[in-house]
């Protein structure tokens, strides 16, 4: 049985602002909870005008305040940007506020470019190569390890499951070695999906947190009452992706009819790769796409994402996605 969860990058749209994006995040999370989604995650990105989730733990605190059952978490925190102790304190605080509901996904990318990484004021010597050590240090803070010589407060004793995130084989290998759940970013970097999942499952070593492999994969869904409407709604994300990949990131634009057909071949090929783990269409199209993705990956959980210009359309989309998943008869009840 497969769980369905939500990844929200808290998009800032053209003509709007960060305050509105954060209010939308709360609204979106409440709606996802009512629909029966297992988790609401958001992710750390910096220096991006169209994403309002840079202060990830603060966003999660705001979301936790307006929900009561859905798990909330980071998908993820880019650990090379931070001292592990600071993250233990932040997520220990979240766990104290919302007991039994907090997840912490960890990534090794900076979440932006080197200029922003430098501005984070973390020592960049070693960079992502220190990631495994930082993960284990974070585990020690949560465990209240006596060898640290002090107690992380908040943090020590907090029940915050750690996840390893990845878009390459590295994260799969580390998650397997540490016995942690693994989430693959196939919603934007699909190329290594099958090999990464195979490596994770083959090499997994049980740990105190997890006795068997547990895998999640990202999947874009743009759903509407008709296929034509869904295709139109998806063009906001398509424009955002093209702008980001061509070095001109900005706030999410409104949908543009015929946008994809207007693109040069190189941009169309890039979008085809980016959205290869996606379903765009009405409920039947989404059900078919989800079924094929679950059959292909055999993941325990699908992390649904699909940013849109209009929050009501986005809420409608995840409602249709849940209906589609339920129609498959393979959805695990939350």
* Residue listed under structure tokens 């932040």: 90
Domain that holds residue 92: 3-228+277-328
Q: What angle do CA 164, 168, 170 make, to 5 degrees?
A: 60
Q: Say if CB 41 and CB 72 are below 8 A apart.
A: yes
Share of the chain above pLDDT 90, in %: 89
pLDDT-derived band at 129, boundaries 50, 70, 90:
confident
**Beta bridge pairs of residue 166:** 184
pLDDT for 40: 98
d(CA 267, CA 307): 19
325: enclosing H helix or E strand: helix 311-328
Q: Say if CB 14 and CB 252 are below 8 A apart.
A: yes
Mean pLDDT of 191-198: 98
Let me know if residue 155 belongs to a domain: yes
Q: Half-sphere exposure (CA, 13 Å, Cβ side) for 231?
A: 9
Q: Say if CB 279 and CB 221 are below 8 A apart.
A: yes
Let me know if residue 272 belongs to a domain: no
Give pLDDT tens digits for 246-298: 989 999 999 999 999 999 999 999 999 999 999 999 999 999 999 999 999 99
pLDDT-derived band at 158, boundaries 50, 70, 90:
very high
List helix spans (H) across 66-181. 84-97, 114-119, 131-143, 169-178
pLDDT for 331: 64
Q: Which of 22, 91, 98, 14 is nearest to 54 (CA)?
A: 22
Let me know if residue 248 belongs to a domain: no
Rounded to two decimals, the pTM is 0.95
Give pLDDT tens digits for 8-35: 999 999 999 999 999 999 999 999 999 9
pLDDT for 147: 92
Give pLDDT tens digits for 172-184: 999 999 999 999 9
d(CA 8, CA 25): 7
Let me know if residue 198 belongs to a domain: yes
Mean pLDDT of 207-222: 98
Let me know if residue 171 belongs to a domain: yes
Let me know if residue 224 belongs to a domain: yes
List the CATH number of the domain containing 122: 3.20.20.30
* Higher-scoring residue by pLDDT: 160, 125: 160
pLDDT for 111: 57
Let me know if residue 11 belongs to a domain: yes
Q: Say if CB 22 and CB 319 are below 8 A apart.
A: no
Q: Say if CB 18 and CB 52 are below 8 A apart.
A: yes
pLDDT for 57: 98
Let me know if residue 269 belongs to a domain: no
Q: What's the structural domain count of the chain?
A: 1
d(CA 316, CA 311): 9
């Amino acid at each position: 049985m497969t769980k369905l969860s939500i990844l929200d990058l808290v998009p800032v749209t053209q003509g709007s602002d960060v305050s509105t994006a954060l209010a939308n995040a709360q609204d979106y999370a409440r709606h996802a909870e009512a629909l029966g989604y297992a988790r609401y995650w958001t992710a750390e990105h910096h220096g991006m005008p169209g994403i309002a989730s840079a202060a990830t733990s603060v966003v999660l605190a705001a979301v936790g305040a307006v929900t009561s059952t859905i798990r909330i978490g980071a998908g993820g925190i880019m650990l090379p940007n931070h001292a592990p102790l600071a993250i233990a304190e932040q997520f220990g605080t979240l766990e104290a506020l919302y007991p039994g509901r907090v997840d912490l996904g960890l990534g090794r990318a900076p979440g932006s470019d080197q200029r922003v990484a430098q501005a984070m004021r973390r020592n960049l010597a070693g960079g992502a190569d220190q990631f495994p050590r930082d993960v284990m240090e974070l585990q020690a803070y949560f465990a209240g390890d006596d060898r640290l010589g002090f107690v992380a407060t908040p943090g020590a004793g907090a029940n915050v499951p750690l996840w390893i995130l990845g878009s390459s084989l590295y994260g799969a290998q580390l998650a397997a070695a540490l016995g942690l759940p693994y989430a693959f970013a196939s919603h934007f970097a699909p190329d290594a999906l099958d090999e990464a999942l195979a490596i994770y499952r083959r090499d997994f070593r049980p740990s105190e947190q997890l006795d068997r492999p547990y895998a999640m994969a990202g999947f874009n869904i743009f759903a509407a009452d008709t296929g034509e409407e869904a295709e139109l709604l998806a063009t906001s994300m398509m424009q955002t992706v093209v702008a980001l990949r061509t070095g001109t990131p900005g706030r999410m634009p409104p949908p543009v009819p015929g946008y994809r057909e207007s693109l040069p071949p190189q941009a169309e090929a890039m979008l085809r790769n980016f959205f290869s783990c996606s379903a765009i269409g009405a409920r039947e199209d989404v059900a078919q796409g989800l079924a094929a993705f679950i059959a292909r990956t055999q993941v325990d959980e699908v992390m649904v994402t699909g940013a849109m210009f209009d929050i009501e359309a986005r809420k409608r989309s995840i409602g249709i996605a849940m209906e589609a998943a339920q129609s498959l008869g393979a959805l695990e009840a939350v």
